[in-house]
Amino acid sequence: MSAPLIVVPGATTAITRRTTLRKAFLAPWHPLVEDNWLYSLADAQRETGVEVHSSVLNITHHHTDVTPTRDNLPEFTRRFHRDMSCSLHTLLCQERYDVPRELWDDRQTHYMRLVDAEAQASRLIYDALNPCAAGLVQRPEHMPMRTLDFGLWKTGFIEVKRPPVYFGKDRPERLKLYLTPPPVLYRAFGGDIDALVYQMNKLMEDGIRAIRDARTRPVMGAKVIRRIHPWSEPRTMRESGAGRVPTFRIGARNMLGYAQRRDGAREVTSFRRGHHETRTARRDGDLEQSYPHGTYAARVYHGAPVDDVSHDALVAQPGPLLEDVKAELAREQRDRDAVRERTRDIVDEVREAWRDEAAEVVADAELNRVEVVHVAAARRRGPKESGGGDGAAGGDVGDVGEDEAADRGPAVVRHRFDRRRRETARRMVILRDRRRGRPRRGDASHGSDPPH
């Protein structure tokens, strides 16, 4: 059974979800992948009122940062993931690919509350630079899909048109996806949105330089990313899941805020213990027992009572909303020197954290890059060296050199219509679609070989 989630309004949260078998269903293999993503996000926001700060697709997973205006974060996530799953299923069928039973994998959606301004700024930079750290592109704006940059906080929204697949005419033809800064981070900058966007862009540039210095391999580039087959998958086994998964973050660096992190961990442990004890007691007939504050499912779906929030709660403490912060700043006259000093502390902490941890982030992300994407290396080597034939358009292999591939051992990726002699390999990955017969060379209209 999954651990219960603490759900409270105003809790800025980082959401992450992976595709089933870590397949590349979120790659830009079709232009409508981007349209489905943005429309699903905008429609979930329209239905739930959740404030969206950032969202990034990274081939096999997404990073989305939001602040719920009510304690309805699971409802937002359910709508967003459901529409993404159904629309991409429909698109895969339309392009005559095989479709998975589930687009998302069987692991629980990961939620991590970002408690303070340092944690929020650091996470937003990490999400924005995730494609760069993975070795996909040099800069976030080089990704083939749209980049939701920090400057959109100033414009306020982007307009999203309803995709021609899955979404019916009962949904709005056009939606506005509103993008706003996290309330706590906005308050730390004294409500100066220009200064906030400027400093976040500076931090992103510092992160790009740190990643470039730590990178050991060239990036793939947008042209290669567009040709990723949606059924590509990692070359290594799935993570064991034995590591500890954090549910909250305080500060940008690992060593700061130790006492708060310790208290937060104790609070989460106490919440889970109290939730389990209450659920067991109510199951045995004691319906007077109330769940700890932050319980969502039992309260929403079963009408169970919930305790009041504790005065010293950290993770379960409701956070401010953006409109509340704006009203607060309008009432109060902030000391500019104090705001400037607070801003400097946030920026310095995030910058130092990236400098110290960039090599570790890149090393982990580059491993994922090697595992995740299988690109058209066979096309570059030619038919004789690659085993060639008309099936080379679908039989992509990993973008690695011969020496590197030899060091890692055999790993073969081929299309199911490729009639080459089967090679002996540690693992075989089949790129699937529902096409009949062998593909015509240069057939860019087919879904397995997206146009540039």
Mean pLDDT of all residues in 362-386: 45
- CA nearest to 9, candidates 108, 54, 76: 76
pLDDT above 70 coverage of the chain, percent? 76
Confidence of residue 190 (pLDDT cuts 50, 70, 90): very high
Domain residue spans of the chain: 13-254+344-372, 376-431
CATH code for the structural domain at 13-254+344-372 = 3.30.70.1290
Q: How far apart are the first and last CA of the chain?
A: 44
Mean pLDDT of all residues in 320-329: 92
Confidence of residue 12 (pLDDT cuts 50, 70, 90): very high
Indicate the burial class of 33 (C-beta count within 10 angstroms; 0-12, 13-18, 19 or more). buried
Answer whether residue 387 shows pLDDT above 50.
no
61: which strand partners? 18
Top mean-pLDDT range of 251-265, 318-332, 363-377: 318-332
Confidence of residue 395 (pLDDT cuts 50, 70, 90): very low
pLDDT digits (tens, 9 = 90+) for 27-86: 999 999 999 999 999 999 999 999 999 999 988 899 999 999 988 899 999 999 999 999
* Amino acid identity, position 193: I
pLDDT at 396: 35
Mean pLDDT of all residues in 343-360: 86
pLDDT at 270: 94
pLDDT at 88: 95
- The CA-based angle 296-111-272, given to 5 degrees, is 50
- CA nearest to 71, candidates 124, 146, 5: 5
pLDDT at 228: 86
Answer whether residue 410 shows pLDDT above 60.
no
If phi over 0 gives left and psi between -120 and 50 gives alpha, with beta otherwise, what is residue 285? Answer: left
Top mean-pLDDT range of 116-125, 248-257, 355-364, 399-408: 116-125
pLDDT above 90 coverage of the chain, percent? 49
Q: Of the ranges 18-22, 288-292, 300-304, 399-403, which one carries the lowest mean pLDDT score?
A: 399-403
Answer whether residue 445 shows pLDDT above 60.
no
User: What's the pTM?
Assistant: 0.82
pLDDT at 388: 32
pLDDT digits (tens, 9 = 90+) for 102-128: 899 888 899 999 999 999 999 999 999
Answer whether residue 383 shows pLDDT above 80.
no
Q: Compute the mean pLDDT over every residue in the chain, rounded to the nearest whole number.
A: 80
pLDDT at 397: 32
pLDDT at 427: 55
**Cβ atoms of 239 and 364 closer than 8 Å:** no
**Cβ atoms of 435 and 417 closer than 8 Å:** yes
391 against 229, higher pLDDT: 229
Q: Of the ranges 121-130, 194-203, 253-262, 327-336, which one carries the lowest mean pLDDT score?
A: 253-262
